[in-house]
Structure 1
């Protein structure tokens, strides 16, 4: 007999704000903005109280302060958030057989089949209470037959609530909600649908799938399926991508610090760009050194979650200083970034000001269109015999 699916979507409410409030209870109930400097930074996260003023993440901090002049601005502290995310992950890891961490503050759990032994909703409720008790952070969950409906249920349960959508009631639960509440239905798709008077999910549910296919092509059926609560998406354990790495073997052994650093910078840029493209961040940085006699050393360190070169490059240079015995020439050097998880965009907003964010986005856009290594920092331009012009294709 096939078991009915039970998927739980867990989301830590206003995660970064909640972590700050845990250490400074004076912030509770006040409009709080987290991000870069008030002058040139952007909002990485904001409290529910701040959202009432029309503030949202990625908004320039100046604009947010005009909307809510009495808001408290906090410079984000990654280390705290990384640690809090790790604590919550460990509790979930201890409590359930199958989960997927989709970002620093968001998880899917598959409890299908557990109801032979336990009440699945009760188990999810106890897990939520355990997270609140052990971490002091508010958390919400939605439980339903699919990932899409579970995520929508969480959004309706917030802040600090929980909601079960029984089997068979998915379409009825979704019907009165606005179409923008469907996960992954972007602003452009919504605007197209508004032109046809389709504003609520109930309107979408009554729309012929062939009509949606003429507007959106093959995605039309996906949209129709989601509007009816149909979603085959599996909860996939996060083992599939735990690290990414790259290495460089020199033609002749190298004992020159500048050459080694240049090679490390170039590899770090390449990996950081790849992280951002895949929407990932790393919290563990490592370098590998292989000496002329093939003896190999690896040194690593835990870092706050990031995908930004201006944090990663000083990190690899520091590891090189720690690891390298400067009297010995090197034949191979490598960089590895591990403990990967989702959430790059939001995380990078903490240490970046507007100019840096735009620079990264511009670099990533050019590299994405023309292939890696099109544009890079001056420091990464001369590797061995290869020369790069930052405005020429590599």
Structure 2
């Protein structure tokens, strides 16, 4: 493909009217919002057992070095004072719907990317002439309605809008006008560009590419020879700010996944199995960002001679359990008949089910039945709390003391903070479950009131 044609691709927008909104540290922020005693404190959301993984770290925890995808044990050592909580997807889904409803007031074209982020095309709404005011107003309304901070970026394209919201975090608004695009884009680290993962970045570093400016200086043929025609062409475009993807209303996403092309072909049962797990873990992170589970797992294998084979495994029901999905990816890869060197491996999840009942085992060593996350609009029936089903952070109710959240449960004693989004912070209390049974209940999600806004 002619590089001059790529570089001269049409840039139809003359204004920064693509908006990208991203809720800051979303899961942890919801927990701090709903649990008054955690406001301003470090919070880690994710697997709570010895092999758990951090899903989201609050900014207080990030300052101490914790981050998503980190082993929970390591995060706890870095932030010993952090509250470690099990995810409550019902609550996150409710807050997400409030955020998306406010974004929908700006335009008919809203494209959710995950549970906590979306693109909005302001050209398709009443705010095309003043996008910055629209962005500031919607940030304020989201804060007023939910109590959550949302960072927003405005740009001429999805690429610039997304990078701008990232640069504006936390709780920021950054407008990148077309005239300022290169000044904003070129100094950014190349790793910030969508599509550049660890393997691609390693290949680019061999070309002495560190920033987007370095990437732009690479000839098209060098990029395509280094990372493949499709990826090389895409990065050639993105380094020049060329992103022709429209903001589009879409139905349920059909699949999520990840692929990795190896710098050198790999071979051997153990080596390939380890690589499948690594690729599957990246696909799992994307599935988690999507906010649901999958029923079908597809493995893609490209051999050294460029022969490509795909095989799939379909589960009895949708699952978001990492161990189950990794095992299915390994099974699908074995079905591909890997008997020679491998150039590329991919793992993708299909038949996604955001609103179905999903088994979510965040800890590989959990004992007993998997935790069931109910359909957001259909509350689960009450269940008595015990050591088997108790997870830190889950909502509980006492017949006299009212609602609260579980700190931990050991044997027949539960430690609980009886507080809600509308109450003052509460001290921990120990409850004898034999004398005073507690009930696990669905999250109580309320929009902010005038008194909340002073917090």
TM-score, structure 1 as length reference = 0.63
Give the secondary structure class of the aligned counterpart of 1:236. Answer: coil
Query: CA contact under 8 A between 2:22 and 2:116: conserved in structure 1?
Result: yes
Counterpart-to-counterpart distance in 2, 1:63 and 1:16: 19
Query: CA contact under 8 A between 1:42 and 1:59: conserved in structure 2?
Result: yes
Alignment equivalent of 1:228, drawn from 240, 244, 248: 240
Query: CA contact under 8 A between 1:38 and 1:73: conserved in structure 2?
Result: no
Counterpart-to-counterpart distance in 1, 2:35 and 2:245: 39
Map of 2:363 onto structure 1: none
Give the secondary structure class of the aligned counterpart of 2:251. Answer: helix
The runs of 5 or more residues in structure 2 that have no matched partner are 1-11, 256-279, 296-315, 337-347, 349-455
Query: CA contact under 8 A between 2:191 and 2:201: conserved in structure 1?
Result: yes
Q: Does 1:4 align with 2:6?
A: no
Give the secondary structure class of the aligned counterpart of 1:163. Answer: strand
Query: CA contact under 8 A between 2:127 and 2:134: conserved in structure 1?
Result: no
Q: 1:279 to 1:152 in 2, by over 3 A?
A: closer
Hey, which of these two has a bigger chunk of helix by percent? 1
Query: CA contact under 8 A between 2:135 and 2:173: conserved in structure 1?
Result: no
Aligned positions of 1:79-158 closer than 5 A:
79-112=90-123, 114=125, 118-158=129-169
| Runs of 4+ displaced beyond 6 Å | none
Counterpart-to-counterpart distance in 2, 1:20 and 1:152: 26
Shift of residue 50, structure 1, vs aligned partner:
1.7
Q: Does 1:33 align with 2:34?
A: no
Alignment equivalent of 1:171, drawn from 174, 179, 182: 182
Shift of residue 167, structure 1, vs aligned partner:
1.1
Counterpart-to-counterpart distance in 2, 1:185 and 1:97: 31
Q: How many residues align?
A: 278
The runs of 5 or more residues in structure 1 that have no matched partner are 244-272, 284-304, 310-334, 338-343, 349-355, 373-394
Map of 2:327 onto structure 1: 362
Map of 2:260 onto structure 1: none
Counterpart-to-counterpart distance in 2, 1:95 and 1:107: 12
Aligned positions of 1:152-231 closer than 5 A:
152-218=163-229, 219-231=231-243
Counterpart-to-counterpart distance in 1, 2:208 and 2:143: 42
Counterpart-to-counterpart distance in 2, 1:117 and 1:358: 46
TM-score, structure 2 as length reference = 0.55
